Each structure stands twice: as structure tokens, then as C-alpha cells.
Amino acid sequence: MCGRFTLKTPASDVARLLGLLTPVALEARYNIAPTQRVAIVRDVPGEGRQLAMLAWGLVPSWADDPAVATRLFNARAETVATKPAFRESFRKRRCLIPADGFYEWQRQGKAKVPYHIRLQDGGPFALAGLWDRWRHGELEIESCTVITTEANELVRPLHNRMPVILPTDAYDSWLDASLENRELLQHWLKPYPADAMTASAVSSRVNAAGFEGADCLEPPHQAPDSQKMLDFN
């Protein structure tokens, strides 16, 4: 799964990575959680790529109750093309979700130690996402979900799932709403190479979804059990 992530990279670097032609404003985020608003990039016909802020947790256009979003903040790569909640968005409303790291937890005795997982160079990347628009009367909600796949060798000791990190050469195809080649699209939904990533234990402050701040990434106050701590080097 992917239930928390970071985006602290300067907005200009994010815009450059994702091919945005107009300046964007993004504040540094250290503990992004479901139901919060997150940055996404989508292709707008006639206007090109645009950044928007959407609620994290998909509300399908046909949903009776927007509260369904709390169960749909992730979509499994294996079923995203066929599951009713996601299949239409997978066909027509794909997006990029910028990030520069995500969190997973390792159980050590009675404690769960959070780890921050990122690229070796610490740079930003794009998660594979979907978006949708729900309307009821005058109320409109635009929302998104993060696609997950099986974990790579780095993440597997922490969790059996990880978010899909798209390679840069997939961005054009992923955002192209006219592309409906399911086989090609699902080709991109695989684990990112473990040898291009790293991870480190961080502060338990990140456990609280409402806590936001750079100290989320500080080392834990008490070092994890050396016999159990994962070697990510």
C-alpha cells in the first residue's frame, strides 16, 4: 500500500521533471496522508499538462456517498483495469502524482518503526495515479488514488506492496487519454528497481497523520534494534 508520502522538492524542480510550462507553487510537505489535498499533474485537452490539487482518496463519479474515498486511496495494479471503482479512470483519467519519498513501517516487537523510502539521488519522481470528478447538485469533488504493485526487494521486508513509480519515458503515454492500450499501460505498473532506491528509519512523529514538519525525517530518538534493523546499504 501507499498511505503516506513526502514532497519537499522545490516547485521549480517538480515542474521541470513533469514538463509543466507555467510556474507552480508548492509548499514542502513531509507527511502527506489520505483525505488531504495532494498535487497531481494531468493533461488538459488544448492546454497541455496542468497541476491541480485534489483530495487523496478516489470518489468515483457514480458513487452514492463520497465517504467511499477513505477506502479508495490505493488501487491495485493487478485489478485497476477491471475493478468498477477504477476502470473508467484507468481508461481516461490517468495522472502523475509528484513525490520524493514514501513511508512504510517495520514491526519490531511491540513497536512499529517508520522508514522513509526514496531514490538513491534523493530526487523527485512521479507516482502512477488516477483521478475522477464527482458531482451532487452544486457540490463537486475532484479526487485521486495512487496505484500500487508488489514490493521490490528493498521494500518487501517492510510491506508486500509499494506505490508504482513511473519511469520518465512513460509520462507521455500515461497522460495520453486517447491511449487505451491496456497491455501497454499495465507494462508500466511494476516495481521500481530496488538498486535505485534507499531507505532509512525516521522519527515516530510521522505516525500521527496530522503532524507536519521536517523533523518527520529525523532519525528515531531510540535506534531500532540492531539485530532487527534492515540493512538498506
Buried-exposed string 200-214: b where 16+ CB fall within 10 A, e elsewhere: bbbbbbbeeeeebee
CA-to-CA separations, 204 to 135, 216, 218, in angstroms, rounded: 38, 7, 9
Other beta carbons within 10 Å of 217: 20
Length in residues, the chain: 233
7-to-16, 51, 98, 103 alpha-carbon distances in Å: 15, 14, 7, 12
Are 19 and 175 a contacting pair, CB within 8 Å?
A: no
Q: How far apart are CA 202 and CA 215, in angstroms?
A: 9
* pLDDT tens-digit series, residues 167-204: 999 999 999 999 989 999 999 999 999 999 999 999 99
Q: What is the pLDDT of residue 222?
A: 63
Spot the catalytic one: 104, 142, 144, 216.
Answer: 104
Query: pLDDT tens, 204-226?
Result: 999 999 899 999 999 997 655 54
Q: Which pLDDT does position 108 carry in this prediction?
A: 85
The angle at the Cα of 35, spanning 127 to 115, to the nearest 5 degrees, equals 55
Which residues, 6+ apart, have CB-to-CB distance to 120 below 8 Å? 196, 197, 198
CATH topology for 5-217 is: hypothetical protein yedk fold (3.90.1680)
Per the annotation, the verdict on 2 as an active-site residue is yes
Helix (H, G, I), strand (E, B) or coil at 214: helix
Q: Which residues of 163-189 are buried (b: 16+ CB within 10 A; e: fewer)?
A: bbbbeeebbeebbeeeeeeeeebbebb
In this prediction, residue 224 carries a pLDDT of: 52
List 56's β-bridge partners, or say none. Answer: 144
To the question of pTM greater than 0.75 for the whole model, the response is: yes
**Which of the residues in the chain have pLDDT under 70?**
222-233
